[in-house]
Each structure stands twice: as C-alpha cells, then as structure tokens.
Structure 1
Amino acid sequence: MARSLAIEGFIERLADVRFDNCFNPYADRCATYDVEFAPEIRRENLYSILKVLTSMSTVDLWVGRDLGYRGGRRTGIALTDERSLSLYADHLGLSELHRATIGEPVKERTAANIFRIISSVNVSILTWNVFPFHPFERGNSFSNRQHTKQEAVTGFSFLEEIADIVNVRNIVAIGNDAALWAERLGRTTHRVRHPSYGGQTEFLEQMHGLYGISSLDQEQLTLF
C-alpha cells in the first residue's frame, strides 16, 4: 500500500508541472494526435510500470535527456515509441501498455535502438529522463529542444525520487547530457554514447559489452 501511494503521489506531482514551450504528457492533451483521455492513459501506463518494478529485487535505471516528439511525448514513457510499447510490456510481464494517440503507430530511431537491448537483457529496466517532459521550440510543438537549466533542476528532483521508489542496481546514462545529472545521484553509473547523430554502432557495442550480450553482426546494426 505504501509503495502504491508513493507512486500515485509521484505521478500527481509530475502532472502538476508547467513550463512554457513544454508538453506534459501526464496532464496535456495534443489536439492533433491524442485521444480524448490521453493524459489519463499515459498516467495509468506509468503507474503500471512503476508498480511492477517496485516488486523487483533489482532494477537498472536507463536515463536519457528529455522526451522527444515522436516518442515520449506520445507514450509518456522515456526512450519508448509506440512501436515499442508491446516490447516494454513483454519485458515487464505486463499484459499491455495502451496507446494514447490516433493513427498509425509512430516510430523513433532512438527507441528502436533502446529496445534492441532491452529485449536482450535479463534484468528489469526502467527508462527515464533527466527532464521527464517534452520541451519544444517556441511556435513548433512538434520539434525538440534541449531542456533549460531551470527545467533540468526540476527534472532532477523527479529523477532522485524515482531512483528511491524502485530498487536501483545500476544507472546507465545515455549521452553526456544525461550523464551530467545522473552521476549526481551518487550511485554506480555507466555513461554510454547516445544512439542518435551517428552514435548507433558505438551505443550498441557499449551496451552489449555492459550486459554481456553476444557480439553484433551487420544485420543487428541495420534498423528499419
């Protein structure tokens, strides 16, 4: 019961956050792509994820920078696009994670790389971001920008809290921007290359080495 209340309170605080030029998937509804009760669906998905992970003896926390407009803005789950929802549900032993949008599922290259690894590891993974919302360029909500220092400070408070809610074994910081904040948690943190902007091969090789997965072949490196 105490864990459930902690998760509920955590999600309620997430939903209360407001910044200019920022989409909060746990409170905001996209007029273009979201179904009527999209924020509620994303909150329920996050609750299901955290509820199952609090029952795990060990969890690895993978930390990215912020939500992207093709992935986490739509799903409410860090480093996860709509094509990956079923993969994440399978990984966690959940019956389903629900879509909150209309139309064809949208794919994101970073998420595809992330789930190449998640589908191969034998430890439960929680994906999260330094800034757990979608920051966008002024006037274009379907764009990505890096969070500001003020946004990162707010996001870090949630990162600290979620690292205490679940039983974190190791932290994997995906990219230097994520590592700058993740390493402040004072726990074992592994810094790896972000898979975007030409970093795909290095990211996959680093993650395969970290988790003892067999070596990559060319077919594994070809995504979409």
Structure 2
Amino acid sequence: MKTIDRFLARLAAVQLENVFNPYRDICPIHDHAESAQIRLQSLRAYLTLAVQQGVDSIWFGRDLGHRGGRRTGIALTDEKHLPLLAARLHTRGIRKATASEMVIERTATVVWSMVEEIGQLPFMWNAFPLHPHEAKAPLSNRSHTRGELSQIWSFNMELVDVLKPRHFVAIGNDAHVALANAGLPCSYVRHPSYGGQADFVAGLRRIYSEHCAANRTGALASQLELID
C-alpha cells in the first residue's frame, strides 16, 4: 500500500540526537548489515496486515526499550514473542533482525501474557516510536522529551487515521498524557514496570470486560434496528 510505504519511508528517515531509529540505524554491538531493513520489513508486514484485518484497539506504550522494540522494530514486543505475533498474523514477514542471541524484555513478557489471556490482538505502538537513550549509553533507556515527541507526533496521528481503531489503551502516565493532549480519548492502565504488574493486569482485565460488554450491547442494538 502506497500510504504505508510513504509512512515507513518518512519514519525510517528520522534522525534525532541520542535516539536510535531501529528502521534506519545499525547497532554496532547486536546488529548486522541488514538489521534495520529487516525491522522495517517486519513493521511493514505488521501494518499491512493490521489494515487488511482491521484494528479494534491500539495499545500505546511510552517508547521503545533497548531489550524490546529497539531490537525487533515492534512496540511492546521482544524477540521471544516476535514469533507469536507472526503466528497470530499468519505471516513470515515478521522475523528476528539482530545477530546476537535472543533477548527477553520483562515488559513485553507481561504485555504478551495479557494478549494471550484476552484473546484479542491489539495493534501495539508507542507514543514515541523510537528508542531514546542517554548520551554515550546507547543501550540505556530514558523517557523521550517533550521536544522529541513534538517532532514525531504527526506519525501517530497518521497511524490512527490509517488504522481507524475504535479504542485506545494508554500504558503508563506518559502515554496517557500524550494521547489526552492530542484529544484522543483512551483507557488508562498502569505500566507493568517498577512494581506495576498487578495493577496493569487488573486494569486490562477491567478495561476489556467493559469493552466487550459495550461491543455486545452495540451489536444487539444493531440487530434490533434491522428487525425494526
């Protein structure tokens, strides 16, 4: 799809100081020459199939982590869970990009346990879809700045326009504030890191219980309208 190709070409061209762009940059420690291109291909497959199959929810995290999305190019997904995403989408276009051994990320593990429990595959993204790191410490994690977020926010709005989800879930305060400031109504759930796992799990269970109930009510109303 031309829209997706244009979106990805612009995303892959982004260069910011102390920010690793997994669709453009090569990690000298863990990558090989084709790693960035593989990550870009994985995101292309993910986006294309999401558009084709439809998206009910987008889960927004804060930014890519050095053990997860920096390596895979897929938000909230580490290399252990990358094959689960590929299997859910029935594609071979999503694959491991790094040259080093598989790395597991705690956040991705908790997130994917809830994807499996809920039984629905959301589209997973981040308010800041790249990996911000400390100066001279490329394998560290830090929060993006307000200025960095403003430079890439148009990508998020374009993604929302392309996917047209019915529901947004903000994972953590930073994602919640970013979505609220953009006027995107969302459900909030605590981030699973730093002792937040139990609240994250309970929050998603509550959200999806309510969301499924609302969907059933909407479906029933549509059926009654057809009868009338």
Instruction: Output the TM-score relative to the length of structure 2.
Output: 0.87
Structure-2 residue corresponding to 1:221: none
Length, aligned pairs only = 210
The alpha-carbon deviation at position 56 of structure 1 amounts to 2.3
Query: Is residue 2:45 matched to residue 1:48?
Result: yes
Measured against aligned partners, the alpha-carbon deviations of 1:178-200 in whole angstroms (never above 9, x if no partner) come to 01112244344101000000000
176-185 or 134-143, larger mean C-alpha shift: 176-185
Structure-2 residue corresponding to 1:5: 2
Find the structure with the greater CA-based Rg: 2
Measured against aligned partners, the alpha-carbon deviations of 1:113-155 in whole angstroms (never above 9, x if no partner) come to 1101112334331111111111110111010111111111123
46-55 or 86-95, larger mean C-alpha shift: 86-95
Query: Is residue 2:16 matched to residue 1:19?
Result: yes
- CA RMSD, Structure 1 to Structure 2 (Å): 1.5
Structure-2 residue corresponding to 1:61: 58
Of 75, 91, 101, which aligns to 1:94? 91
Structure-1 residue corresponding to 2:174: 177
Query: Is residue 2:153 matched to residue 1:153?
Result: no
SS of equivalent to 2:91: coil
**Distance in 2 separating the partners of 1:60 and 1:156:** 19
Structure-1 residue corresponding to 2:69: 72
Mapping 1:109-120, distance limit 5 Å = 109-120=106-117
Q: Which amino acid aligns with 1:59?
A: D
115-124 or 148-157, larger mean C-alpha shift: 115-124
Percent of paired sites with the same residue? 41
Measured against aligned partners, the alpha-carbon deviations of 1:157-209 in whole angstroms (never above 9, x if no partner) come to 11111111113110000000001112244344101000000000110111122
Mapping 1:160-199, distance limit 5 Å = 160-199=157-196
**Distance in 1 separating the partners of 2:34 and 2:99:** 12
Query: Is residue 2:61 matched to residue 1:38?
Result: no
The alpha-carbon deviation at position 88 of structure 1 amounts to 1.4
- Unaligned 5+ runs, structure 1: 214-224
**Distance in 1 separating the partners of 2:147 and 2:155:** 13
Q: Cα distance 1:17–1:158, how it changes in 2: closer, same or farther (>3 A)? A: same
Runs of 4+ in 1 over 2 A off after TM superposition: 56-59, 90-96, 120-124, 183-188
Query: Is residue 2:78 matched to residue 1:81?
Result: yes
**Distance in 1 separating the partners of 2:140 and 2:184:** 33
Structure-1 residue corresponding to 2:137: 140
Q: Which amino acid aligns with 1:69?
A: H
Q: Which has the higher helix share?
A: 2
**Distance in 2 separating the partners of 1:25 and 1:58:** 24
- Unaligned 5+ runs, structure 2: 211-228
The alpha-carbon deviation at position 95 of structure 1 amounts to 3.5
**Distance in 2 separating the partners of 1:167 and 1:124:** 15
